[in-house]
Structure 1
Amino acid sequence: MGKKCFLTAITILMSLQNRIINHFSDSIQAQQDATSTLSEVIEFASLRLVSALLNDKKIITCGNGRSAICAQLLSSAMLNQFERSRPALPAIALNADAATITAIASTGHFDDVFAKQLRALGQSGDVLVTYTDDDHAPNVAKAVIAAHSKDISVIALTGKEGGMITSLLSERDLEIRVPSHSYVHIQEVHIVITHCLCDLIDHQLFDV
Structure 2
Amino acid sequence: MNKQRILAHFQESANLKLQAGAALAQPIGLAVELMFNALSNGNKILACGNGGSAADCQHFAAELVGRFERERLPLAAIALTTDTSILTAVGNDYSYQEIFSKQVQAFGQPGDVLLALSTSGNSPNVVAAIDAALERDMRIVALTGKGGGAIGKRLTDADVHICVPHDRTARIQEVHLLTIHCLCDGIDVALFGEDTND
TM-score range, shorter chain: over 0.9
**Contact 2:119/2:146 (8 A) holds in 1:** yes
State the secondary structure of the residue aligned to 2:48.
strand
| Aligned position for 1:153 | 139
Q: More deviation in 121-130 or 132-141?
A: 132-141
Structure 2 CA distance for partners of 1:135 and 1:90, relative to 1, 3 Å? closer
RMSD: 0.9
State the secondary structure of the residue aligned to 1:161.
coil
Out of 79, 94, 116, the position equivalent to 1:108 is: 94
**Contact 2:100/2:129 (8 A) holds in 1:** yes
Superposed counterparts of 1:22-61, under 5 Å: 22-61=8-47
Structure 2 CA distance for partners of 1:174 and 1:135, relative to 1, 3 Å? closer
- Report the AA paired with residue 70 of structure 2: R
Is 1:134 the counterpart of 2:116 in the alignment?
A: no
Out of 190, 193, 206, the position equivalent to 2:176 is: 190
State the secondary structure of the residue aligned to 1:56.
coil
Matched residues in 2 for 1:111 and 1:206: separation?
Answer: 38
| Aligned position for 1:83 | 69
Is 1:119 the counterpart of 2:105 in the alignment?
A: yes
- Report the AA paired with residue 152 of structure 2: T
CA offsets per residue over residues 154-176 of structure 1, 9 Å max, x none? 01000011111111111111100
CA offsets per residue over residues 102-137 of structure 1, 9 Å max, x none? 110011100000000100100000000111111430
State the secondary structure of the residue aligned to 2:2.
helix
Is 1:65 the counterpart of 2:51 in the alignment?
A: yes
| Matched-pair identity in % | 40
| Aligned position for 1:162 | 148
| Aligned position for 1:8 | none
Structure 2: gaps of 5 or more residues = none
Give the ranges of 4+ consecutive aligned residues of structure 1 lying more than 4 Å apart after TM superposition.
none
1:138 positional shift = 0.4
1:44 positional shift = 0.7
Matched residues in 2 for 1:51 and 1:65: separation?
Answer: 29
- Report the AA paired with residue 200 of structure 1: G
| Aligned position for 1:202 | 188
Structure 1: gaps of 5 or more residues = 1-14
State the secondary structure of the residue aligned to 1:158.
strand
| Aligned position for 1:173 | 159
**TM-score between both structures, scaled by the size of structure 1:** 0.91
Size of the alignment, in residue pairs? 194
1:30 positional shift = 1.1
Matched residues in 2 for 1:199 and 1:102: separation?
Answer: 34
Q: More deviation in 37-46 or 130-139?
A: 130-139
